[in-house]
Amino acid sequence: MLKETIIPESRDPAFRDMVLKTPVGEKIPTCMQCGICAGSCPVSHEMDHTPRQLVRMVQLGLKKEVLSSNTIWICTSCFSCSVRCPRGIHPTELMETLKPMAIAQGLENKESKFDTVFSGVVRKNGRASEFLLISKYGFMEPGIIKQLPFGISLFQKGKLPLSSYKMEDTKELDAIFKLGENSVEKEKEIKGDNKAEGKDAIGESKDTREETKNMGEETKATMEKAPQETENSDGGKKI
Amino acid sequence: MKYSYYPGCAQHGTAVDYRISVENVFRILGIELEEIKNWNCCGALHVPDRTVRVALSARTLASAKGLDIATPCNLCYSNLMRASTALADSALRTKVNDALTEKYNGNTRPKHLLEVIVKDFGLPKLAENVRKPLKIKAVPYYGCLLTRPENNFDSPENPKSLDSLISTLGAEPVTYYYKTKCCGGPALLTNEDMALGLAKDLFVMAKETGADCMVVTCPMCHLMLDGKQKAVESKYNIKIDLPVIYFTQLMGLAMGVDPKELGLSKHFVPADTLIAKIGGNNDRK
């Protein structure tokens, strides 16, 4: 892989601090780059940055590179790295934490589309029925048409019922999913982010740089008092 | 013995065979699984927001009615486990409870069905129910989320509970170095090429052991390893032909349950040779 010099302008301490304040952020500053995570990862060969590299990139605050990395989406959530990390960093949970941040920046890919479809089905029906998932996802990603023969064989085995599978009463689910909407909205408010900027929004906007300056002082404070902060459940909420 | 039962979405669709075997085997063993009314999906690995993910499982944990919650699915189990740990944080619990009608008090213990059998019911008692010791070799495949990131009953690196269960049923659990390596299941729809590669590695290693079947504890693993086995064979031009069966189906076979009552006919890789080797059927009526 081509090695590039990290230019100071690509570093965004505010982004780093936002990640450090999440429930998985506490131990990230302690990473010693041993590479157990990368060595344990069954899919690191598919990633543009290994989990080890990604943790270092978070430490450096390389917002654009981290949030546009395929690493967080290639991860299959097997948690091998998480149980092995000698520093108690949880790389799998870090990937999970970065996903909504990337989405909030306007990122969209086949994995995030599937997450959108899945969450939508659960919010509406309370349960995930495979047929509904596959057909809705097929609209967004026509490429999965090649899975059609598999779908048909599942149907023939009685494993893909066409009736939708629902809870009797879904009214609580709206309240549950609203817990997430709030946190994303707050995050956007804080960052002065504009969804209309779309994919280009990942990285350094003028607003973010402005914020970077303001964050200077708090950055140091966070590094030291991370443990208390980590109990907070939402990524960007407290910034 | 009685549990609040959280079947998970797959039991209605791709894991209908698992459901059939669970119902029959648990009934024979006298373990009561009372399905939670109006349960909701755990979100699997596809709800990006952490608070929402925790809240989905909090709702399930809150509905346990003082019993332990049992679930057949590795994904459901890991989500329930992770949520129960996360909800020890009282600030998060308060926030999540605001969205719930029935509040979660922090006291429910989630259990995978394998844990129910191995720890609660106990292998000595299971041994008493074995009518037909299985003279076969079986790969104990745990997958990822049964033991990771956390569990209450086995090692995340080298789990042994499924090995012990296989031995109890009279079969030989082979040494399998990939017993907790990812099967690719979660990437089945979004990144099939990568998923097939992961499954191929598991199959090649499994074939080297000379095993008669792979034993799984998770609907996602089963969908990948049984449902996509043919796809792996044709992509890599190899012959695998290895039945992949749920641990509850293996229990049923050893307990003399008619294979028809175990959902085995719904598999993509036929279990006929395996059933013949075990020596047929319906001792138990």
Taking CB atoms and an 8 Å limit, are B48 and A144 in contact across chains? no
Query: How is B95-160 classified by DSSP, letter by letter?
Result: HHHHT-SSPP-S---EEEHHHIIIIIIIHHHHHHT-SS---SEEEE---STTTSS--SSS-SSS--
Contacts of A79 in chain B (CB under 8 A): 78, 144-145, 148-149, 156
> Which of A76, A112, A171 to mutate against chain B (most B CBs within 10 Å)?
A76
Q: Report the pLDDT value the prediction gives residue B24, as an integer from 0 to 100.
A: 97
DSSP state, residue B184: S
User: Is B99 at the interface with chain A, CB within 8 A?
Assistant: yes
Q: Identify the structural domains of chain A with CATH numbers, from first to last.
A: 11-107 (1.10.1060.10), 110-171 (no CATH)
Instruction: Please state, rounded to an integer, the average pLDDT across all residues of chain B.
Output: 96
The helix or strand, by DSSP H or E, that contains position A94, with its residue range, turns out to be helix A91-104
User: Is B270 at the interface with chain A, CB within 8 A?
Assistant: no
Query: How is A117-165 classified by DSSP, letter by letter?
Result: HHHHHHHHHSS--HHHHHHHHHHH-GGGGGGHHHHHHHHHTT-S-SS--
Which residues in chain B come in under a pLDDT of 50?
A: 282, 285
Which residues in chain A come in under a pLDDT of 50?
A: 185-186, 189-239
CATH architecture of B130-278: 3-Layer(aba) Sandwich (3.40)
Looking at the partner chain, which of A83, A126, A131 has a beta carbon nearest the beta carbon of B149? Answer: A83
Task: Give, in order, the Cα–Cα distances in Å from A197 to each of A10, A29, A106, A180, A202.
Answer: 19, 31, 8, 22, 9
* Span B108-147, pLDDT tens digits: 999 999 999 999 999 999 999 999 999 999 999 999 999 9
Taking CB atoms and an 8 Å limit, are B86 and A23 in contact across chains? yes
Q: To the nearest whole percent, how much of chain B has pLDDT over 70?
A: 98
Q: Is the bond leading into B72 cis (omega within 30 degrees of zero)? A: no
Taking CB atoms and an 8 Å limit, are A234 and B48 in contact across chains? no
Going by C-alpha positions, the residue among B127, B222, B137, B133 that lies closest to residue B175 is B137
Task: Give, in order, the Cα–Cα distances in Å from B11 to each of B6, B194, B283.
Answer: 10, 26, 27
Structure-token pair, residue B34: 């009372």
Looking at the partner chain, which of B40, B49, B78 has a beta carbon nearest the beta carbon of A183? Answer: B49
> Which of B35, B52, B228 to mutate against chain A (most A CBs within 10 Å)?
B52
Q: Report the pLDDT value the prediction gives residue A165, as an integer from 0 to 100.
A: 84
Determine the 3-state secondary structure of B35 from DSSP. strand
CA distance B77 to chain A (A): 14
The helix or strand, by DSSP H or E, that contains position B70, with its residue range, turns out to be strand B69-71
Q: ipTM of this model?
A: 0.95
Q: Report the pLDDT value the prediction gives residue A183, as an integer from 0 to 100.
A: 58
Domain boundaries, chain B: 2-112, 130-278
Q: Report the pLDDT value the prediction gives residue A9, as an integer from 0 to 100.
A: 81
> Considering only alpha carbons, which residue of chain A is nearest residue B264?
A157
Taking CB atoms and an 8 Å limit, are A161 and B43 in contact across chains? no
CATH architecture of B2-112: Up-down Bundle (1.20)
Looking at the partner chain, which of A80, A92, A122 has a beta carbon nearest the beta carbon of B47? Answer: A122
The helix or strand, by DSSP H or E, that contains position B197, with its residue range, turns out to be helix B192-208
Taking CB atoms and an 8 Å limit, are A175 and B100 in contact across chains? yes
Pairing outcome for strands B137-140 and B213-216: parallel
pTM: 0.88
> Considering only alpha carbons, which residue of chain B is nearest residue A76?
B186
In whole angstroms, what is the distance from residue B267 CA to residue B241 CA?
A: 12
CA distance B194 to chain A (A): 8
> Which of A45, A46, A77 to mutate against chain B (most B CBs within 10 Å)?
A77
Contacts of A90 in chain B (CB under 8 A): 149
DSSP state, residue A236: T
Tokens 């065979």 sit at which residue? B17
Q: Report the pLDDT value the prediction gives residue B84, as an integer from 0 to 100.
A: 96
CA distance A44 to chain B (A): 11
Q: Report the pLDDT value the prediction gives residue A229, as an integer from 0 to 100.
A: 37
In whole angstroms, what is the distance from residue B65 CA to residue B39 CA?
A: 13
> Considering only alpha carbons, which residue of chain A is nearest residue B79?
A77
Looking at the partner chain, which of A130, A170, A176 has a beta carbon nearest the beta carbon of B55? Answer: A176
The angle that helices A130-140 and A110-125 make with each other, rounded to 10 degrees, is 140
Contacts of B12 in chain A (CB under 8 A): 127, 129, 161, 165
Taking CB atoms and an 8 Å limit, are A183 and B12 in contact across chains? no
Looking at the partner chain, which of B39, B49, B99 has a beta carbon nearest the beta carbon of A100? Answer: B49
Tell me the sheet residues that pair with B35. Answer: B5
Contact B185, B112 (CB under 8 A): no
In whole angstroms, what is the distance from residue A85 CA to residue A91 CA?
A: 8
Taking CB atoms and an 8 Å limit, are A130 and B157 in contact across chains? no
Contacts of A167 in chain B (CB under 8 A): 38-40
